[in-house]
């Protein structure tokens, strides 16, 4: 794969780094102002359940985007190959394909992928992460089960820069640089990040024979590393904005661990190389009383799969190349109508192409060229129902058209501040979603094609009660939400055997759950707690799957974080993450055991500009003990074991 940065981006960097600092960098225009359910609810204009995560609060702790998302209720992060491996999210029991991911308001999901690989999104340049559950505002035009992860990248408010460098066990490293400068009568933000890991941790391998401990051996995880480089440029001047990002990532693809990780049976070389870049240009303007914004963009991605020893995927698949490109044009408009209505319209047209080269075409007869036209239209009205402005209803319509086939989705949400400290939120609606290229045609490696997939459709509703106030001198925020969804023709990934799988339609599925999120602050203590309970069941009548749990939906999950400000310069923190047993198949025959992980560390302000952070993930080394539990028979080693206890140290310098 060619390693390149487009010349325009290189020129912008060269010009920018030679200029003087500026007092501000203006962020790309946002079509929606939000705050988390446990953030500043006085500014929360979304009637749905929203959690906002601010990475800056834990900067220096080597958090990845998946680890930050673990803090949100309703979110389950699916890690298929451990830290740095392919990672996606499920929200309120959704599939990962039903979760739309936006970066600075631009859709990141590609047709050539089942879902956005969250492990590839850098967090050092992220200002906040918004997780929408249930009601999804019209600004996010893609229709889904009611789940959006919106990532907003940094925009310094004053002349400043920062440099972060850090090292961890198993060859992990991270460095990130931010810098702001004037350029072409506007303001430019330059941000880079380099990260990676060898991933060569040690563990006990049961040799694939759980019944016989005599052949167990100490192993080192092989071919398990990754390296990534990122560049982000954001420029603004008056009503004009521009954004460019570039990413280059190489990821090893390890074998399943049981019986492997011996030098005689595992060779390096099986890997996936990905290069991606995108650019967007936007302008805001006003026509009469209507505020409008127009944005256009282009994206290109190349994914190259190397399998020289034929260890992974279908037999004979040694090398494949996937080239994706997408162009889009979007228009947003908003108009206040009297004192009681606020209308918003969003429309996006996109054209995406996928070209495939390699063994999947030459030897296995796969398709080589794909194309898809999409139109997403949304109309939303925020209606104030009382004079005090404390009761708001938000009806939303979404029309999604894929290659001439269109479906209408709708939702209705309400937000009622019925007492100074009490708020009630509710939403319900119905959605449709088209299967993407990846689900229809596979990946030419480990996913088999299934061109007969139907559109998904389903409904959801939720009801939440929130309280924000002081209790015995403790600033307290509590949110409790019940949610329910039903899905027809659910597109679900089914493992056919340990080597490869396929996406198939599941006739009916039903999901119920409860979310509890709290925060208690009394200086010097700060405690956050989130708990999710969920039952996600297959409801296909007259089927062996009836009333079986859907895979990759653990029944319960807990995240707790306690921070203690020991002094003005010293901060201590600890975390506990619990994930209940997690079934991997439709028959409830095998699951991962439950897992509790404890993290701890401290941050020391060396001076006003420098922060030293020392931490340990999985303090008690429990991740290595996670096992694969069959319905009958003995427990065995997980297919892809986790690396366990990991020490980390970083230095953050702000200038």
Most confident range (mean pLDDT) of 195-204, 353-362, 634-643 is: 195-204
pLDDT at site 501: 77
How confident is the model over 428-445, as a mean pLDDT? 83
- Residue 420 DSSP SS3: coil
User: Does position 25 have pLDDT exceeding 50, yes or no?
Assistant: no
How far is Cα 130 from Cα 480, in angstroms, rounded to an integer? Answer: 18
CA distance 494 to 552: 11
pLDDT of residue 212: 72
Over 70: is that where the pLDDT of 438 sits?
Answer: yes
| Predicted confidence (pLDDT) per residue in 356-395, tens digit | 899 878 876 667 888 999 999 999 999 999 999 999 999 9
- What is the model's pLDDT at position 620? 97
CA angle 230-231-233, nearest 5°?
Answer: 155
pLDDT above 90 coverage of the chain, percent: 64
- Averaged pLDDT, 198-210: 91
Q: What is the pLDDT of residue 77?
A: 93
Lowest-pLDDT range of 6-15, 360-369, 563-572: 6-15
Cα–Cα distance, 109 to 117 (Å, whole number): 9
pLDDT at 418: 95
In a domain, 1, yes or no: no
Report the C-alpha gap between 304 and 318 in whole angstroms.
11
Residue 177 in domain: yes
Closest CA to 431 of 446, 452, 411, 461: 411
Work out the pLDDT band at 315, boundaries 50, 70, 90.
low
Instruction: Assess if residue 2 is contained within a domain.
Output: no
Domain range for 380 is 7-654
Instruction: Quickly count: other Cβ atoms within 10 Å of residue 257's Cβ.
Output: 22
Better pLDDT: 605 or 95: 605
User: How far apart are the C-alpha atoms of 599 and 577, rounded to whole Å?
Assistant: 8
Using CB atoms within 10 Å of the CB of residue 251, give its burial: 0 to 12 exposed, 13 to 18 middle, 19+ buried: buried
Please report whether residue 470 resides in a domain.
yes
- What is the per-residue pLDDT across 531-565, written as a single tens digit (0 to 9) for each? 999 999 999 888 888 999 998 999 999 999 999 99
pLDDT for the residue 229: 97
Q: How many Å apart are CA 246 and CA 278, to the nearest integer?
A: 7
Cβ proximity of 231 and 245 under 8 Å: yes
Assigned domain for 134 exists = yes
Q: Give pLDDT, residue 417.
A: 95
**Is it the case that residue 586 has pLDDT exceeding 50?**
yes
CATH at residue 120:
2.40.170.20
Mean pLDDT of the chain: 87
Q: Please check whether residue 389 lies inside any domain of the structure.
A: yes
- Segment 407-427 shows an average pLDDT of 95
State residue 42's pLDDT score. Answer: 35
- Specify the pLDDT at position 314: 64
Amino acid 79: pLDDT = 86
**pLDDT at residue 10 greater than cutoff 70:** no
> How is residue 618 annotated by DSSP?
S
Q: What is the pLDDT of residue 206?
A: 92
Average pLDDT over residues 187-194: 94
Identify the pLDDT of residue 193.
96
Q: How many domains does the chain have?
A: 1
Q: What pLDDT, on the 0 to 100 scale, is given for residue 7?
A: 40
Q: Is residue 643 part of a domain?
A: yes
Residue 505, strand partner residues: 491
Most distant CA pair in the chain, distance: 80
Q: Against a cut of 0.85, is the pTM above it?
A: yes
- Residue 619 forms part of a structural domain: yes
Q: What is the pLDDT of residue 144?
A: 61
Residues 414, 399: Cα–Cα separation, whole Å: 21
């Amino acid at each position: 794969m060619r390693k390149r940065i487009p010349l325009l981006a290189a020129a912008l960097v060269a010009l920018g780094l030679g200029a003087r600092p500026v007092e501000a960098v203006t962020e790309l225009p946002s079509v929606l102002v939000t705050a988390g359910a446990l953030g500043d609810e006085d500014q929360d204009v979304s009637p749905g359940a929203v959690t906002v995560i601010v990475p800056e609060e834990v900067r220096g702790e080597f958090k990845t985007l998946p680890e930050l998302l673990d803090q949100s209720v309703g979110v389950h992060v699916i890690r298929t190959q451990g830290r740095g491996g392919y990672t996606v999210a499920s929200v309120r029991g959704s599939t990962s394909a039903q979760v739309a991911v936006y970066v600075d308001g631009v859709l990141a999901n590609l047709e050539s992928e089942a879902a956005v690989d969250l492990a590839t999104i850098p967090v050092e340049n992220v200002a906040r992460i918004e997780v929408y559950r249930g009601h999804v505002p019209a600004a996010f035009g893609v229709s889904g089960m009611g789940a959006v992860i919106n990532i907003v990248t940094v925009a310094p408010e004053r002349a400043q820069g920062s440099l972060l460098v850090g090292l961890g066990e198993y060859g992990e490293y991270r460095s990130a640089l931010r810098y702001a400068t004037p350029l072409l009568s506007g303001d430019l933000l330059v941000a880079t990040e380099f990260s990676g890991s060898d991933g060569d941790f040690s563990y006990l391998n049961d040799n694939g024979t759980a019944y016989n401990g005599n052949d167990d051996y100490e192993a080192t995880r092989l071919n398990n590393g990754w390296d990534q480089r990122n560049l982000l440029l954001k420029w603004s001047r008056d009503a004009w904005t521009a954004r460019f990002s570039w990413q280059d990532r190489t990821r090893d693809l390890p074998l399943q661990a049981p019986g492997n990780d011996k030098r005689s049976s595992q060779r390096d070389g099986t890997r996936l190389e990905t290069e991606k870049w995108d650019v967007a240009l936007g302008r805001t303007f006003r026509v009469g009383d209507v505020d409008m914004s127009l944005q256009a963009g282009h994206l290109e991605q190349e994914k190259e799969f190397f399998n020289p020893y034929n260890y992974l995927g279908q037999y004979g698949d040694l090398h494949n190349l996937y080239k994706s490109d997408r162009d889009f044009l979007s228009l947003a408009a908003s108009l206040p109508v009297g004192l009681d209505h606020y209308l918003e319209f969003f429309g996006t047209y996109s054209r995406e192409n996928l070209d495939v080269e390699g063994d999947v075409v030459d030897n296995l007869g796969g398709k080589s060229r794909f194309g898809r036209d999409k139109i997403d239209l949304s109309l939303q009205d925020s209606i104030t129902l009382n004079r005090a402005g404390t009761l708001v209803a938000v009806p939303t319509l979404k029309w999604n058209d894929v290659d001439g086939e269109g479906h209408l989705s709708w939702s209705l949400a309400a937000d009622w501040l019925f007492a100074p400290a009490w708020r009630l939120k509710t939403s319900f609606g119905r959605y449709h979603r088209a299967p993407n290229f990846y689900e229809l045609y596979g990946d030419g490696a480990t996913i088999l094609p299934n061109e007969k997939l139907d559109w998904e459709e389903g409904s959801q509703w939720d009801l939440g009660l929130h309280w924000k106030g002081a209790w015995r001198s403790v600033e307290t925020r509590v949110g409790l939400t019940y949610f329910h969804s039903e899905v027809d023709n659910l597109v679900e990934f089914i493992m056919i055997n340990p080597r490869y799988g396929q996406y198939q339609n599941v006739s009916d599925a039903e999901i119920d759950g409860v979310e509890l999120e709290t925060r208690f602050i009394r200086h010097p203590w700060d405690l956050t707690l989130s708990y999710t309970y969920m039952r996600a069941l297959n409801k296909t009548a007259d089927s062996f799957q009836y009333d079986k749990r859907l895979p990759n939906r653990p029944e319960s999950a807990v995240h707790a974080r306690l921070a203690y400000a020991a002094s003005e310069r010293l901060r201590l923190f600890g975390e506990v993450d619990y994930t209940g047993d997690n079934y991997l198949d439709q028959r409830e025959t095998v699951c991962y055991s439950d897992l509790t992980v404890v993290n701890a560390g401290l941050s020391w302000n060396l001076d006003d500009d420098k922060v030293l952070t020392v931490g340990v993930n999985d303090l008690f080394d429990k991740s290595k003990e996670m096992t694969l539990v069959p319905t009958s028979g003995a427990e065995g080693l997980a297919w892809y074991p986790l690396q366990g206890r990991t020490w980390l140290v970083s230095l953050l310098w702000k200038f």
